[in-house]
Amino acid sequence: MSIARKVLENTFVQFGGKIVTAVLSIFVLKMISGYLGTAGYGDYTTVYQYLAFFGIAADFGIFTITVKEMSHDTKKIPQILGNVLGMRTALAIITMGLAAIVVFFIPSYSDTVIPMGVLIATLATVFTLLNGTVSTVLQVHLKMQYTTIGLIIGKIASVGYIAAVVYYLYTSDTTVGFEHLIWAGVLGNFVMLLITTYYTRRFTKITYRFDFSYWKKIFITALPYGVALVLNSIYFRLDILLMTVILPHTDALADGTTSCSAAICGDTEAGLYGVGMRFLEMLIIIPIYYMNSVLPVMTRFLEEQSEKVKKIIQYSFDFLVATAMPIMVGGFILAVPIIRLISDEDFVSGAVHAYGSDVAVQFLMFAMFFSFINALFGFTLVVLSKQAQLMYINAACVLFNLVSNMIVIPYWGFRGAAVTSIICELFILVLTGIAVKRALDFKLDFSTTWKITLSSVVMGVIVGAGFYWTNGMWYVYKLAMLVPLGGVTYGIMLLWTNAVTPEMRALLRKSK
């Protein structure tokens, strides 16, 4: 089997699993958002966005660096895994402990369900970090189907718990129910870890090792990339946390209703934006899966000083653009039925709020497109051991994000935050692209990009016309009709424009 096919199959296995879990996540999102409402879902989103800061600090880019180290010498996988497992467990305990303490001292979170939610969710984050460590072995062997199995079964366990909470156990007590929704995430991640560990043992022994000199080596190697990831996580999630801190919080009244003292409330804005961000997070995992599959191959080719590295970058660029552009166009046009599908009617513009989650999705589709390409350039800089440049770029973006959001959020809420996200992603795209170009001294070929753009525009026209003509149709029927129509149109256009070149088809058919 050719390397190209192995990379794509490893990617599509993960993506296929992600589609399954995305469908399950839609049920989760719909149940939770309908159960908690916009303000309650804002608190739920805040719990996980808050922990993400500490979680990425515990990860610190170690997954990517570990895959790279294992790809250098597969014979050392047992000792590499053992030491990374020990180091990451220590980091997880420290960072999650700090997160659990700090949250109780944030004034705007006092007298809310957020602190207790964070305390419970730290366990889910620890299990996720350990699962990511163990799965590095499967990634190196391009056997991520086993991780996907764990992901799906864990998600099913979580969905079952959530359904029991929402429909049977705590139908009228959302405060207690809120905590159990967090416990559902803990259960799902624990099941996922158990299954991934079971399959990883087929390839290597899993034992903790405490070679502190090796810990130091990995930590120093990962430091620039880890800081870059922390900064990336800050600018990606800072907007929601700033909304909950800058804007007033919704208060519960004696008659059971809620009220906010201002035109826009932090938890409501976070809830509306959080649904859009959740949809975005389902999508941006695609380039991460793809680049994690490409990473071992790029590492080997770079060591051999092979020109194939440049070809891999070009093919990866074309693949990511070809994947992201139709999603961007389709997502923008179908934002309203998408939100109706994944959430509650109250989250749509005009139902309760003038600007709903559909507006957030439309803005975030542009950020998603830039994010796909950013993954390629970011991972390439890691392979080239240029993590420091990525760190400086992300630091500049965090500063811009912080200042911009503090200015725009009080006036435009999540809409201002969404525009800031687009600008940040574009900023990173330009600078990382320049850094890769200088390091490898090559130029991207955009001939396929124009064909992809034309194919996406034609698809958008067809889907847009269909959206107009199906006005009034139930959103499920509308999506069931327009999504396949868009996919078929896009596929035909790719073939007609020869965007998938004969050379690329031959590459996928190679047996060696």
Average pLDDT, the chain: 83
Q: Write the single-letter amino acid at 234.
A: I
User: Does the structure show a pLDDT above 60 at 10?
Assistant: no
3-state SS, residue 504: helix
DSSP 8-71: HHHHHHHHHHHHHHHHHHHHHHHHHHHHHHHHHHHHHHHHHHHHHHHHHHHHTTHHHHHHHHHH
Exposure string of 372-396, with b = 16+ CB inside 10 Å and e = fewer, is bbbbbbbbbbbbbebbebbbebbbb
Angle made by CA atoms 387, 388, 392, in degrees to the nearest 5 = 120
Exposure string of 273-286, with b = 16+ CB inside 10 Å and e = fewer, is bbbbbbbbbbbbbb
Of 53-62, 268-277, 364-373, highest mean pLDDT: 364-373
- 163-177, 217-231, 282-296, 443-457: range with lowest mean pLDDT: 217-231
Instruction: Please give the structure tokens belonging to residue 144.
Output: 């991520």
pLDDT tens for each residue of 321-372: 999 999 999 999 999 999 988 888 888 888 777 788 999 999 999 999 999 9
3-state SS, residue 252: strand
**% of the chain at pLDDT higher than 90:** 30
d(CA 264, CA 256): 20
User: Does the structure show a pLDDT above 70 at 8?
Assistant: no
User: Does the structure show a pLDDT above 50 at 149?
Assistant: yes
User: Does the structure show a pLDDT above 50 at 1?
Assistant: no
Of 30-34, 256-260, 399-403, 486-490, highest mean pLDDT: 486-490
How confident is the model at residue 404, as a pLDDT? 92
The DSSP symbol for 166 reads I
Between 266-303 and 3-59, two packed helices, what is the crossing angle to 10 degrees?
130
Q: What is the arithmetic mean of pLDDT over 48-74?
A: 72
User: Does the structure show a pLDDT above 50 at 188?
Assistant: yes
pLDDT tier at 511, thresholds 50, 70, 90 = very low
pLDDT tens for each residue of 62-93: 766 776 667 666 677 788 788 888 888 888 88
Q: What is the arithmetic mean of pLDDT over 133-142?
A: 76
pLDDT tier at 187, thresholds 50, 70, 90 = very high
User: Does the structure show a pLDDT above 60 at 253?
Assistant: no
Query: Where in the chain are the domains?
Result: 3-445
d(CA 68, CA 57): 19
Q: Cβ atoms within 10 A of the Cβ of 414, count?
A: 30
Instruction: Please give the structure tokens belonging to residue 177.
Output: 């129910």
How confident is the model at residue 451, as a pLDDT? 93
Q: What is the arithmetic mean of pLDDT over 137-153?
A: 78
d(CA 409, CA 398): 16
Contact 419, 405 (CB under 8 A): no
- 3-12, 94-103, 142-151, 218-227: range with lowest mean pLDDT: 3-12
User: Does the structure show a pLDDT above 60 at 7?
Assistant: no
Q: What is the arithmetic mean of pLDDT over 279-283?
A: 83
Instruction: Please give the structure tokens belonging to residue 196.
Output: 């991934």
Q: Cβ atoms within 10 A of the Cβ of 247, count?
A: 22
Question: Residue 360 half-sphere exposure, CB side, CA atoms within 13 Å?
Answer: 29
How confident is the model at residue 373, as a pLDDT? 93
d(CA 388, CA 222): 10
pLDDT tens for each residue of 393-422: 888 888 898 899 999 998 898 999 999 999
Contact 421, 276 (CB under 8 A): no
Contact 179, 121 (CB under 8 A): no
**% of the chain at pLDDT higher than 70:** 84
Residues 6+ apart with CB under 8 A from 76: 69, 70
Query: Which has more confidence, 234 or 88?
Result: 88
Rounded to 5 degrees, what are φ and ψ at 281?
-65, -30
Dihedral sign for Cα 215, 221, 80, 281, please: positive
The DSSP symbol for 207 reads -
How confident is the model at residue 157, as a pLDDT? 94
| H helix or E strand, kind and range, residue 259 | strand 258-259
Rounded to 5 degrees, what are φ and ψ at 420?
-60, -40
Q: What is the arithmetic mean of pLDDT over 468-475?
A: 87
- List strand residue ranges (DSSP E) for 118-177, in order: none
d(CA 229, CA 61): 6
pLDDT tier at 167, thresholds 50, 70, 90 = very high
Query: Which has more confidence, 423 or 27?
Result: 423
Instruction: Please give the structure tokens belonging to residue 4.
Output: 């190209």
